[in-house]
Amino acid sequence: MDISTPRLLLRAPEHADAARISLLAGDYDVAIMTGTIPHPYSERQAAEWIESVLSGEEGVVFSILRSGMLIGCTGYRAFGDDHAELGYWIGKPYWGMGYATEAVRALILYAFEADSFDYLTVGHFADNPASARVIAKFGFTPRGKEVRDCAARGARAHCLTYRLDRAQALADFRTA
> Based on the structure, what is the number of domains in the chain?
1
SS3 track for 7-62: CCEEECCCHHHHHHHHHHHCCHHHHCCCCCCCCCCCHHHHHHHHHHHHCCCCCEEE
CA distances from 174 to 18, 138, 169 (A): 36, 12, 8
Q: What's the pLDDT score for residue 169?
A: 87
- Cα three-residue angle 111-85-68, rounded to 5 degrees: 60
**Which residues form the domain of 97?**
3-175
CA distances from 38 to 8, 27, 149 (A): 26, 10, 11
Q: Is the pTM of this model over 0.85?
A: yes
CATH at residue 153: 3.40.630.30
Local confidence pLDDT in tens for the 176 residues of the chain = 899 999 999 999 999 999 999 999 999 999 999 999 999 999 999 999 999 999 999 999 999 999 999 999 999 999 999 999 999 999 999 999 999 999 999 999 999 999 999 999 999 999 999 999 999 999 999 999 999 999 999 999 999 999 999 998 888 776 65
Long-range contacts of 29-33 (CB under 8 A, 24+ apart): 29/92, 30/89, 30/90, 30/91, 30/92, 31/151, 31/152, 32/125, 32/150, 32/152, 32/153, 33/89, 33/124, 33/125, 33/128, 33/131
The C-alpha atoms of residue 176 and residue 174 are separated, in whole angstroms, by 6
